[in-house]
Structure 1
Amino acid sequence: MANAAKRPHLPELDLVRAFGIIAVVMIHATSSIVNNYDRASSFYPIYVFLNVFSKFAVPVFIFLSGFVLFYNYIDKPFTARAIGEFYKKRLMKTVIPFLLFSFLYWGLTRLANYGFTDIRTFIGYFANENFLEKLLTGKTYTHLYFVVIILQFYILAPLLLYAVKRLPWLGKHIVWLGLLVQWAFIYKLADVFELKNRGSYSFTYMLYFAAGAFIGIYYLKLADWIKISKQSATAGKITAWAVLWTLFLSASLTEVYVYYRYYLEGRFVLSPKLLELVNEVHCVAAGIALIQLSAWIYAAWNRTIVKALIHIGAVSFGIYLIHPIVLYVYREIDAGGNPLIYHLWAAGGFVLALCLPWLLVSLSARFRWHWILFGPLPAAKKAPAASAPKKPGMEA
């Protein structure tokens, strides 16, 4: 494989993160509307579309984690020092913000549900098995399960890297092996071991991590096929691009239709396994399509817009941690009965839940210990390059 030192930085990946966090906020901003809004309204299908189409969000972040980890580490020596540095960079700067926000959200929800009586009672909410179980599974608030999943993948990643480096043929088969593990866990092993909260286990998402890992391992060879370029376009590449986007859009729209029918009728028109397969195609295709789209945007769009998207991607972890608080407070505002006001209220919730955390995390970045709350903000991501990017290819 190529020398690790020659593997270039891929700034377009921050754009993928930006689209991922935008999709996360869209899901959460529309979830209560999908559950509570008038099904007969002509606007209802639009809210269902925005909510369900965005369901690639968490799988794409997992896909991207697999991509980045294997892209960055597959050529590096597998030593105890390297493993130690990996855990220092990845685990510690994720664990601390996760713990802090787990305590914060648990405390806020206890206050919202039960009020404050005395400090002893309040401390008691944290000193019981229920809190410990919720903490370990990322259930102290609805969105924190994702951080637990990422931490599990960080623990597994060195083992997977070691296996692929020792047995290179595994890299070529890692996608279907990931699919096998995912289906075996979802439909067999979780029941055998009587595991609750399947969504809190990394094996439920193994296909997405494995697909990202595959792209990361072979990206130097695949980039020319993934990235759109008039200069290198061939009949084969154009066909591949068309197939990719057809799979992504058809799976996405199928899932939207299935869930729309479910919200109307209370039943799924597809079997659970077939719906799971559609979702997997939706999410894996989304991961590749967003890399392709982001590379094109990075090369062709207005520099101000690109810089803004890169910055959103760079601080996406902090946005992820904060945005539910914004939505919780915002939903206390009564939108009234006027349909126009309601739709403006719905749009305002999305915009505020994205922009206010973005602002807060950005302001905190100037302080040395900001990573304790929001994770690291690498120096390379603090100030996106002001110069125009190179044409699509393996830009630094």
Structure 2
Amino acid sequence: MKQQSQIFDVHVLRAVGCLLVVLVHVSALFYVERGNWEDVILFINQASRFGTPIFAVVSGLLLFLQVKKRGFLFNKFFKSRVNKIVIPFLFWTAFYLLYIWLIFGTSPFESGLKHFIFDVAFGKTYSHLYFISIVLQFYLVFPLLQFIKSRGAWIGLLILSALVHIYSMKFMGDFEGLFGLIAEQRAFLPKWFFFFIFGGFLAYHWETAKEWAYKIRVPLFFAVLLVFYFAAVEYEWGRYIGSNRVTNIINLPVIILFVMAISEKIASNPSLNYLASRLGSMSMGIYLIHPFVLSVLQRNLPSGVWTLSLFPVWFAVVMFLTIGMILLIKKLPFGHIILTVPSVEKKSAEKSKKEELQKSVI
């Protein structure tokens, strides 16, 4: 049951992450179409900028959980990552490059082959692909990190990763040359390293963290409200709007722990259980496809439809169309290759409770 609980928690985290990412991009589209930030839209945009770091935490969590349970085999790891991440990344990079070329007439090679390779490597071919580049960079160092298992080593690595994060965000812009160019990229691993390491830390301290989070769930609830509020305030203070802002070293653990604390409540509700599991399983597909849906809607609808009162409607439309495309791709002969959608075990909360009761009787 512990493993099932972990899997469901991961689905919940993924679901929260993808909903926040879509909220960021839908609210950004409203800004583009209306030419200014309305207070409510700005708050939604800023309060939703935790989705991508959540995905980074989940990526680290899943990798280290697998190592913890099954050990590390490099060949198996390499083959799995190629199938699940590299191939979809290359396919969707090509898809968006072709889309831009056909619709906007922009050739991907107009700046030269070296520039093209650089843009592909760092996910600059379309706005959201940078995160897949970050994940791939993390895979390069992961074989070294999987040997870290002791509590003291993990605490030290977590502190070190936080310091690396702060340094890379604050001081690496001073470098010149090729390294300076790489360091200024959004998809520069040191700017995201803390989130992956925090996921690994959780993998090795899952039960303790979950139990502790549940005990302080009420303070965590108010802490999450403050995190969302100050996300918008921070924009007004210094316009630090990046998803990997330095303050997320504090913000992300608060959000993650709160989700872990309430996941049992979500699991016990059949509707929320089903919704979280389905959204979680489709989160990568939602991340990859929703910008295409937004672009199509933006190009074909008049600017007058993007009003504040219709924001929930358009958010729902984007989610509906995106999920529809995912279900369609799954039916294609090679759909599982270009879009990884893990299966969801069909198991209701009531069935889980019955099994627990049977175990207690036995």
Correspondence for 1:183 among 155, 162, 166: 166
Deviations 1:338-372, CA, capped at 9 Å, x for gaps:
8xx72355434322221212122124334563222
Cα distance, 1:18 vs. partner? 1.0
What are structure 1's unaligned runs of at least 5 residues?
Answer: 116-121, 228-236, 262-267
Aligned to 1:98: 89
Q: 1:168 to 1:258 in 2, by over 3 A?
A: closer
Correspondence for 1:47 among 24, 36, 41: 41
Kept in 2, the 8 Å contact 1:96–1:373? The answer is yes
Kept in 2, the 8 Å contact 1:63–1:284? The answer is no
In the superposition, the TM-score normalised over structure 1's length comes to: 0.78
Q: 1:38 to 1:103 in 2, by over 3 A?
A: closer
Q: 1:112 to 1:182 in 2, by over 3 A?
A: same
Aligned to 1:265: none
Helix, strand or coil for the counterpart of 2:125?
coil
Kept in 1, the 8 Å contact 2:169–2:246? The answer is no
Question: How many residue pairs get matched?
Answer: 349
Helix, strand or coil for the counterpart of 2:247?
helix
Root mean square deviation, CA, Å: 3.1
Aligned to 2:224: 248
CA distance in 2, matches of 1:75, 1:242: 32
Helix, strand or coil for the counterpart of 1:11?
helix
Question: Once structures 1 and 2 are overlaid, which stretch shifts more, 354-363 or 145-154?
Answer: 354-363
Kept in 2, the 8 Å contact 1:16–1:294? The answer is no
Aligned to 2:233: 257
Aligned to 2:334: 369
Correspondence for 1:30 among 16, 24, 27: 27
Kept in 2, the 8 Å contact 1:137–1:200? The answer is yes
Correspondence for 1:66 among 44, 60, 67: 60
Helix, strand or coil for the counterpart of 1:109?
helix
CA distance in 1, matches of 2:338, 2:257: 31
Question: Once structures 1 and 2 are overlaid, which stretch shifts more, 98-107 or 29-38?
Answer: 29-38
Deviations 1:50-74, CA, capped at 9 Å, x for gaps:
1111100000110111222222312
Kept in 1, the 8 Å contact 2:234–2:240? The answer is no
Q: 1:214 to 1:324 in 2, by over 3 A?
A: same
Q: 1:357 to 1:11 in 2, by over 3 A?
A: same
Q: 1:106 to 1:364 in 2, by over 3 A?
A: closer
CA distance in 2, matches of 1:244, 1:159: 34
What amino acid sits opposite 2:342 in the alignment?
Answer: P
Aligned to 1:306: 273
Aligned to 1:212: 199
Deviations 1:259-285, CA, capped at 9 Å, x for gaps:
2x3xxxxxx358899x94433322232
Aligned to 2:132: 147
CA distance in 2, matches of 1:128, 1:326: 29
Helix, strand or coil for the counterpart of 2:48?
helix
Deviations 1:73-113, CA, capped at 9 Å, x for gaps:
125434xxx12212221233211111111111112112333
Aligned to 1:385: 347
Cα distance, 1:317 vs. partner? 0.8
Deviations 1:102-157, CA, capped at 9 Å, x for gaps:
11111211233327xxxxxx685597223211101101000000111111122222
Aligned to 2:102: 111
CA distance in 2, matches of 1:127, 1:389: 58
Kept in 1, the 8 Å contact 2:220–2:258? The answer is yes
Deviations 1:28-64, CA, capped at 9 Å, x for gaps:
1111323553658xxx211111111110000011011
Query: Is 2:247 the partner of 1:278?
Result: yes
What are structure 2's unaligned runs of at least 5 residues?
Answer: 357-362
CA distance in 2, matches of 1:329, 1:46: 24
Q: 1:337 to 1:65 in 2, by over 3 A?
A: closer
* Structure showing greater Rg: 1
What amino acid sits opposite 1:378 in the alignment?
Answer: P
Aligned to 1:160: 145
Query: Is 2:181 the partner of 1:195?
Result: yes
Helix, strand or coil for the counterpart of 2:279?
helix
Helix, strand or coil for the counterpart of 1:55?
coil
Q: 1:77 to 1:103 in 2, by over 3 A?
A: closer
Helix, strand or coil for the counterpart of 2:56?
helix
Aligned to 2:77: 86
Aligned to 1:225: 212
Q: 1:38 to 1:149 in 2, by over 3 A?
A: closer
Percent identical: 24
Q: 1:187 to 1:387 in 2, by over 3 A?
A: closer
CA distance in 1, matches of 2:46, 2:170: 23
Kept in 2, the 8 Å contact 1:186–1:204? The answer is yes
CA distance in 1, matches of 2:108, 2:301: 33
